[in-house]
Structure 1
């Protein structure tokens, strides 16, 4: 593989992760315009599914013949419900705590995922993962400002939603790596987001989306959230990950954290103290060290 090809892969993965990082800021801005959780989440998954299916059909005109896959399509949709749960729980967390704290809570998937792998597949975490997880938790205490201000300034309910979102995200990563890997990327992504849409419709029942007026007013936010949350990242990751390798890709994916914190600081003007910035940097260093060790 040429250096230029690898650089393109690095750029793709970095941009994909950065796309995820901007979501919480635009969710906050949508809430300030009095849009509800159901409207924000519902428009994102519905538009995202529409974009992905359209992209799949446009790029697979000659290959729409039936093909036998390892897993049935409904199982992919069922697994996709985990990403719907991430949206519901994470965006609810963003309602209750600052966006800079919400993203730190979501990053707890690093140690929660290792715990789930152990519980579900009897695959115990390595010493490096255990030590890294402890450091991530310590970095979280710095990043959320709990050490400075205590818990009275942070919604306990928001923290629980954030950790639940991290658990759902861990489950999504585990399932995504094990199910439907022989599907075309766009088809698998479209099926997963379709499953996410079904879960969102059942749980949040966004009946206001039946009104054309609601769509007209929320469309700018819906386009940003669907494109940068459900369309662009999967395509960029699918292109870039094979060129970077999983370990380097995981390190690059952590750019989501500083992007989200910087967006909340510069765009939403949320207060982020020097100690919180140090916690963010600390978590990034731990992620890099864990994945560098894995690669070696």
Structure 2
């Protein structure tokens, strides 16, 4: 595997460990606002620290060439309109964090991540509705595989839907909808901006949104403990900082399709962490469902690659 593919793989795996830190924090008695709010504050600080570090390195490297230094500053400059757009693009991430973390109060961590992973097909439906174009046959095949795998992975075939909190199920699916919206808007918003700056501004937008919904009174009433800071730092590091940085390195080099396949490692990592760290019982049938979901994620990209190979073979044969 290439260095860039490994970057995407590790970034997705980082997302997979989040639920363990969040569940442990809630078990210690910390509230949703305290955990998510502190996470995004620290995550924003890490992102801005990365932006500042990169700026210092570039300035030092180009210090002897004023023309290149001026060109570099111009290339990294953002208007306030661009900044406002990126701040707004952080709001879907805010809703994803709040909905997903609230779902953890009602359903298991493994089920929550499986539901959130439904963004893979929800995004397709949203984009089809926006463009008013019907999905192709391969999309319907993919949806069928994903939904079947999800039913198995979630344990619905073994326990039935009545065994789960319906409120938790709804929250998990809504987190998938908000994450789908984030992918759609973030992929098209201010694409000319440097990846580090885009990540920092969007994370800041998420932080502002959460702090408006859950005012950070815990920062001033003495409820901020070393333990809470530890959980929040882990969540900020593995959720708001490491994945965006690694994705910014790898995705442009390997393409969105392969990034989607490699990024799906988040699901088995999250389920494995839930089983090992949180002691959740995951049956062999559920693991089979996880495998089917991963196959479903890979089907569109594999289909495109096969079509390109056939086109290439046809072209070479005609030549």
- TM class, shorter-chain normalised? over 0.9
What whole-Å deviation, never above 9, does each CA across 1:113-149 have from its counterpart, x for those lacking one? Answer: 0111022232432221122112211111111111111
Unmatched runs of 5 consecutive residues or more in structure 1: 1-5
2:104 to 87, 90, 94: 94
CA distance in 1, matches of 2:133, 2:169: 28
Report the secondary structure of 2:105's partner residue. Answer: helix
CA distance in 1, matches of 2:220, 2:136: 50
Contact 2:78 2:193 in 1 (8 A): no
CA distance in 2, matches of 1:166, 1:235: 22
How do 1:63-78 and structure 2 match up within 5 A? 63-64=72-73, 67=77, 72-78=82-88
**Aligned residue for 2:64?**
none
CA distance in 2, matches of 1:153, 1:206: 35
Which structure has the bigger radius of gyration? Answer: 2
**Aligned residue for 2:176?**
166
CA distance in 2, matches of 1:165, 1:210: 30
2:253 to 218, 222, 243: 243
What count of residue pairs does the alignment treat as equivalent? 291
What whole-Å deviation, never above 9, does each CA across 1:223-243 have from its counterpart, x for those lacking one? Answer: 110000000001101111122
2:125 to 105, 115, 119: 115
CA distance in 1, matches of 2:273, 2:131: 37
CA distance in 1, matches of 2:103, 2:305: 33
CA distance in 1, matches of 2:218, 2:38: 11
Contact 1:71 1:179 in 2 (8 A): no
Unmatched runs of 5 consecutive residues or more in structure 2: 60-71, 307-319
1:281 to 274, 291, 294: 291
> Is 1:232 aligned to 2:227, yes or no?
no
1:132 to 120, 142, 160: 142
Contact 1:86 1:168 in 2 (8 A): yes
**Aligned residue for 2:21?**
26
CA distance in 2, matches of 1:202, 1:164: 20
Name the TM-score, length of structure 2 as normaliser. Answer: 0.87
1:252 to 262, 267, 270: 262
**Aligned residue for 1:11?**
6
